[in-house]
Every structure is written in C-alpha cells, then in structure tokens.
Amino acid sequence: MSKPAGAASPRAANVEVRGLVRRFGSITAVDGVDLDVAEGEVFGFLGPNGAGKSTMVRMLVTLLRPSAGAARVAGYDVVKEAAKVRRVIGVALQDAALDPLMTGRELLRLQATLHGIPRGHVEARGGELLERVGLTAAADRRVGTYSGGMRRRLDLAMALIHEPAVLFLDEPTTGLDPMSRISLWEEVRRLNIDHGTTVFLTTQYLEEADELAQRVAIIDRGRIVREGPPAELKAQVGEPTLQVVVPEGDLERAAEVLRHFGEPAPARPDSLAVHLAGGAAGLAAVVRALDERGVQPVSMELTAPSLDDVFVEATGRRLEGAQADPAVPAP
Amino acid sequence: MSAGGVVSLSRRSISNTLRQPQMWVPSMAFPLIFTALNTGAMGRATRLPGFPAESFLDFAVATAVVQGVLFGATAGGSDMAVDIQDGFFDRLVSSPVSRPTIVLARLAGAAVLGAVQSLVFMAILTAFGAQVRGGAPAVLTIVAVAMLLAMAIGGLSVAIALKTGSSEVVQAAFPVFFISLFTSSAFFPRELMSGWFKTVASVNPLSFMIESVRALIIGGFHVGDAMRALAIVAALAGVSLLLSLRALRSRLAAG
Ligand SMILES: Nc1ncnc2c1ncn2[C@@H]1O[C@H](COP(=O)(O)OP(=O)(O)O)[C@@H](O)[C@H]1O
Ligand SMILES: [Mg+2]
C-alpha cells in the first residue's frame, strides 16, 4: 500500500507530550505528563489499573480534551488539529469495541470507508489484513461469535486498515490467554520491524513492556515515575537480588554473613535476601563465607532486577495487583 | 463530509436493525394486528354520521403507516445508545469521518426503513381490500411522509441517546411517542370526538398530518393535503435534526 489516504507531507511519526493534565471533577487522572516517543519506536506505557493510561491514550487520539498542557501526534496538535491527527493514527481502545451483529469482513470494510480508502481497494485491503491476523476463515461470521483473542486481532486489523503512522494500543492483551498474547506480540513486533510503525502501547504487564517496548514510561497515579529503555531502568535499580533459603536454626548466622555482601532485601519468612553489591560475580564469595560459618543453604537463587523492582523502587509498591489509589472509588 | 461514510454507516444502521428481529417485527406486526382488530370491532362505526370513510380499512391505512413508523424509528436511537455504551461510538469519533455524518447516517437509515415499511403496509392492506384513491402520487407522498416521520422520531431518539448514552432511557421515551399518537386523531376521527380528548387531538400536530394523509387515501390526491402533510413532518424532522446535532455537539464538547 502507498501512503494513507489524505496523509499530509511526510513528517515525523512521533508523539510529543508537554505538561499534559486531565481532571475528572476532583480526580486528577493525568497529572502533568511530559514524554517523547520517537518515530519508529515501540513505546510502552506501563502502570497499574487506574494509573491514568487510558485517559492518556484518549487524549492522544482526540477523544478527550486535556485540562492543561499540550500534545502533538505526528506533529499535529491533538486539540487544534484533531481532524489531521485522526487521519494518521490507528486506534485500538481498551474494550475492543466491535459490533457483534456485523461480520469481521463487514467491519473492516466499514473502517476502510471511514478512512476514505478508495472503493476499489477496500476488498483487497480487508482481505490482506484478515489473512495477516489469521481471521480469514472467520471473516464472514458475526463478531458476536468470536473469542476474546479473535476480537483483539480484528480490532488490531481495523486499526491498521489505513497503514497508520502511529498506532495506539490500550492494553491490547489484557484478559487474553498466553497463546493469544504471544501471537499479538508477534504481530506488533512485525508491524514495527516491517513497516516502521510507531507504536504507543499501554499495559499492566511487566513482561509485555519488557518484551515489546524499546522504551517504557512507568505511570503511577497520573505521574510518570520512571522513563527509559527497560534494560537501563533495571540497571538503575542496581544489583541483582540473592535469595537464600536456609534451615530455620541457621537463619541468624546466615543473616550475619549476608550483611557483608549488600543491603538486605524483602524475603519470605524461611529465607533471606540481599541486593548483591558486587553483582553476580560476588556469588562465589557468599557461598564460601556461608560454608565457613557452617551454614548449609537449602537453595540459592540469583535474580536480576525486573521492571517490577523498578516499579517498587519508584513507588514503594509492587505492580502486580497494585491499585493506583485506594481512596479513589472504582468507576 | 464523505458520501462513502454516510452510505456505509446508513447501510450498517439498516442491516443492524434487520438483524435484530425484535427491532422491526413488532413495528410491522402490531399495526397490522391493530388494524385487523379495529376493522372487525369498529367496522360499523363507518355508519356513524360524520365518519369520513366508507370503509374502516381505508380509514386505517394512514393509522397503520404512522403507527408502524413511530414504533420502528426508535431503533436508530437504541442502536446509537448501544454504540455509545459499547465504545463503538468512540471508534467512529476517533476516525476521520465527519461527526455529523454519524448522526445523519442514522437518520438516513431510519428514513429508508420508514419508506420500505410504508410500502409494505400499503401493499398488505390493499391486498385486503383497502383503496388508495389518490393513486401513485398519493403513494409517493405517503412514502415521503413516512421517511420524514422516521427521521423526526429517529432524530429525537438519537438526541436522547446522545444526551444520556443509555439505551434504557431511549426505550423509556418510547411511551411518550405513543401517547402523542393516541392523543391524536390516528385511531378515531376528530369529528366524532368530544370533550378534552377532542381539545388535545386538535392541538396535536400528528392529527393534522394523519388527516391529510388519510384524505389522500380516502378522497383522492389533492396538492393541498399532500403539502400540508409534508410540511408538518418536514418541520418535525427539521426540529429533530437540530436537536440531534446539538446533542452530538454537546457530547463531543464534554469529552
Ligand atoms: N470519565 C471519567 N470520569 C471520572 N473519572 C474517570 C473517568 N475516566 C477515568 N477516570 C478516573 O481516572 C483515573 C485513571 O483512569 P484510567 O485512565 O482509566 O486508568 P488506567 O487506564 O491506567 O487503568 C481513575 O481513577 C479513574 O477512575
Ligand atoms: Mg485503562
């Protein structure tokens, strides 16, 4: 396919956000966000439920007006040039709103017309996308009969109908089984590599951000608390964590030994953990020191810092199961 | 505004109504059942002095068409509310299609269904012996009236959908349309009414529209009757269109 219908002169397919705020009554869902997504990048927007991810996406795709601040998508202002923004973006919102009474093919056809794709190209383009997301066999069934994974894939295909320069995916894999999740990841990666599509993806899943995103921003209670490539963020948290399980009688002696190798880390009751100051290289020394004091570890496990550790370090809470703000009632 | 957008969205609106039999079967069946019952029960009413038609069935054609359209055209509003609840509306709004297109396509869909419905009613009732004395010009006028009426009712229900975003509220508004029909001369000639009922029917614009349509069926085609019927529904459709576009603007501004 050539350039999307009605696309303006070539410009960077990037996202720039400056001081963006969105309030709902007394709730500040997005609280002064600055960020930049470069052209051709997969950007992960990671945060717990209620952190403000969807609100952010809805402002960027022109569905919500910012209370303050500004954002540009592909160089167009999301408020003043909203119509132009809509022409260059692909959008798959959190709930994959699809009409259950229509078939997959009909929905793609409709979406193509809404994007002004010339009539002669509509069928071919729809067929190509159905093939790509593996829905050819189900194309003429009503969407009401589709599984969750099929719905997401159709939603993605619809978002891609006009070859958008910037693709927004709001929690594209929430509620999917692991297989469907992986196939969606592959599609996003392929899009990014083969077509150079810029992808802005929100997720509550650490592995997803880790797996897909070249850069992530961690959002919590409407604010960006960390931003950068996953590897760099993890390195900033610092040392790997060593978990040691020891017989109950040895707990105290073992703790004394481990104290010399780094800061203690939270651990289960029957075990000890330490942020290993010398990195993985220090492991041999720990084993020797424990042996010298006659401590026989039941097991030892060295884990590199995860994005979860990054989240914990930034917010003091774990991401899995974290709620943004217990004081805020569920919508 | 893109023509392609209006056409595809109206097509969706029509086919979605047809794919939900509960959306159109009652509006086809009830007016016909009503007509059958009334023709049986009230056949002798035609002998009352002042009754405008010789056959009750002729009298009932206009009633059936208006009742059916009134019943059916709220489907557009319910479907719009469902779109809002499901987030499909957001999909449309985040696409490059112009926003008024989203509303206009619903009304166009309602108009097409209204046209088909009026033709089907006239065909069935004619088969049972009703006569449209105004001939083809009357039939065309009645189809146009049905289309405009469908847009008027569809537009109001779309406006309610956009204002509230709730299909329950749209459905709750339904009895209001029906009361407005029952308090008109749809079911009984004004000449034979009395008291407050006659007063209400005499200020209800639906009465004048129905009487004009009925005149085309019973008395033959007169330009004056056709114009009066069209003018009344066109005015209603215009008001309704304005209300729905205003509701659209305020929903989008709230975003
Ligand atoms: N339309 C709305 N009206 C009121 N509050 C809202 C609305 N949308 C979101 N919120 C609130 O804003 C906060 C962020 O929500 P959201 O952006 O949906 O978070 P996330 O997508 O990260 O789960 C939550 O506290 C939510 O309750
Ligand atoms: Mg969300």
- Hey, what are A236's tokens? 């900033």
State how many domains chain B has.
Answer: 1
Own/partner long-range contacts of A206-211 (Cβ < 8 Å, ≥24 apart): A206/A46, A206/A306, A206/A307, A206/A308, A206/A311, A206/A319, A206/A320, A208/A44, A208/A173, A208/A181, A209/A44, A209/A46, A209/A307, A210/A306, A210/A307, A211/A185
Among A62, A63, A101, beta carbon nearest to B20 = A101
If 0-12 CB within 10 Å is exposed, 13-18 middle and 19+ buried, where does residue A179 land?
Answer: exposed
Contact A65 B87 (CB under 8 A): no
Residue A212 lies in a domain: yes
Pocket test for ligand 1, best of A20, A24, A53, A59 (most atoms within 8 A of CB): A24
Q: Which residue of A has its CA nearest to B82?
A: A99
Q: Which residue of A has its CA nearest to B102?
A: A114
pLDDT at B68 over 60: yes
State how many domains chain A has.
Answer: 2
Backbone angles phi, psi at A66, to 5 degrees: -65, 145
Instruction: Supply the pLDDT for residue A331.
Output: 43
- Counting from 1 in the atom list of ligand 1, the atom nearest the Cα of A325 is 25
Q: Region B1-10: what's the mean pLDDT?
A: 84
Residue A261 lies in a domain: yes
Residue A54 contacts B where some CB pair is shorter than 8 Å: no
Do A224 and A250 belong together in one domain?
no
Residue A259 lies in a domain: yes
Q: Which domain holds residue B228?
A: 3-254
Set of chain B residues whose Cβ sits within 8 Å of the Cβ of A102: 12, 15-16
Tokens 């060295």: give the residue.
A302
Residues 6+ apart with CB under 8 A from B7: A113
Residue B19 contacts A where some CB pair is shorter than 8 Å: yes
At A112-152, the pLDDT tens digits run: 999 999 989 999 999 999 999 999 999 999 999 999 889 99
Instruction: Supply the pLDDT for residue A270.
Output: 80
Give the number of other CB atoms < 10 A from CB of residue A9: 6
Q: What is the DSSP letter of A142?
A: B
Q: Region B195-208: what's the mean pLDDT?
A: 91
Q: Which residue of A has its CA nearest to B21?
A: A101
The amino acid present at A223, given as its one-letter code, is R
Instruction: Supply the pLDDT for residue A252.
Output: 87
Q: Which residue of A has its CA nearest to B85?
A: A97
Q: Half-sphere exposure of B239 toward its Cβ, with a 13 Å CA cutoff? A: 8
Instruction: Supply the pLDDT for residue A268.
Output: 79
The amino acid present at B181, given as its one-letter code, is L
Instruction: Supply the pLDDT for residue B143.
Output: 97
Q: Which residue has the higher pLDDT, A240 or B33?
A: B33
Burial B198-217 (b: 16+ CB within 10 A, else e): eebbeebebbbbbbbbbbbb
Last residue of a domain, one of A228, A258, A285: A228
Instruction: Supply the pLDDT for residue B192.
Output: 85
Set of chain A residues whose Cβ sits within 8 Å of the Cβ of B255: 63-65
CATH of the domain at A250: 3.30.70.1150
Number of A–B residue contacts, CB under 8 Å: 66
Which residues of chain A are modeled with pLDDT < 50? 1-9, 322-331
Do A224 and A243 belong together in one domain?
no
Do A300 and A200 belong together in one domain?
no
At B159-177, the pLDDT tens digits run: 999 999 999 999 888 888 8
Do A97 and A144 belong together in one domain?
yes
Contact B12 A110 (CB under 8 A): yes
Residue A48 lies in a domain: yes
- For residues B184 and B199, what is the distance between their CA atoms, to the nearest angstrom? 10
- Counting from 1 in the atom list of ligand 1, the atom nearest the Cα of A204 is 22
Residue A264 contacts B where some CB pair is shorter than 8 Å: no
Residue A313 lies in a domain: no
Among B19, B88, B95, beta carbon nearest to A115 = B95
CATH of the domain at A65: 3.40.50.300
Tell the residue nearest (CA) to atom 25 of ligand 1.
A50
Ligand 1, CB cutoff 6 Å, lining residues: A 24, 27, 29, 47, 49-55, 328, 331
Do A149 and A249 belong together in one domain?
no
- For residues A3 and A314, what is the distance between their CA atoms, to the nearest angstrom? 41
Do A246 and A180 belong together in one domain?
no
Residues 6+ apart with CB under 8 A from A16: A35, A36, A37, A71, A72
pLDDT at B182 over 60: yes
- Among B95, B97, B106, B250, the strongest candidate for a mutation testing the A interface, having the largest count of A CBs within 10 A, is B95
Q: Is A87 helix (H, G, I), strand (E, B) or coil?
A: helix
Do A180 and A295 belong together in one domain?
no
Q: Hey, which residues 176-195 in chain B have their CB within 8 Å of chain A?
A: none
Interface pTM (ipTM) of the complex? 0.89
Do A211 and A245 belong together in one domain?
no
Is residue A122 within 8 A of residue A143, CB to CB? The reply is: no
* Kind plus residue range of the DSSP H or E element containing B123: helix B99-127
If 0-12 CB within 10 Å is exposed, 13-18 middle and 19+ buried, where does residue B124 land?
Answer: middle
Last residue of a domain, one of A174, A202, A228: A228
Do A25 and A75 belong together in one domain?
yes
Instruction: Supply the pLDDT for residue A4.
Output: 47
Residue A233 lies in a domain: no
d(CA B93, nearest CA chain A) in Å: 7
Sign of the Cα torsion B201, B202, B206, B210 reads: positive
Instruction: Supply the pLDDT for residue B57.
Output: 87
Residue A176 lies in a domain: yes
- Hey, what are A39's tokens? 């052209």
Instruction: Supply the pLDDT for residue B47.
Output: 78
pLDDT at B114 over 90: yes
Do A161 and A259 belong together in one domain?
no
Q: What is the pTM of this model?
A: 0.84
Contact B94 A61 (CB under 8 A): yes
Set of chain A residues whose Cβ sits within 8 Å of the Cβ of B7: 113
Q: Which domain holds residue A274?
A: 239-304
Distance A232 CA to ligand 2 centre (A): 26
Ligand closest to A59 (CA) is 1
Last residue of a domain, one of A228, A260, A282: A228
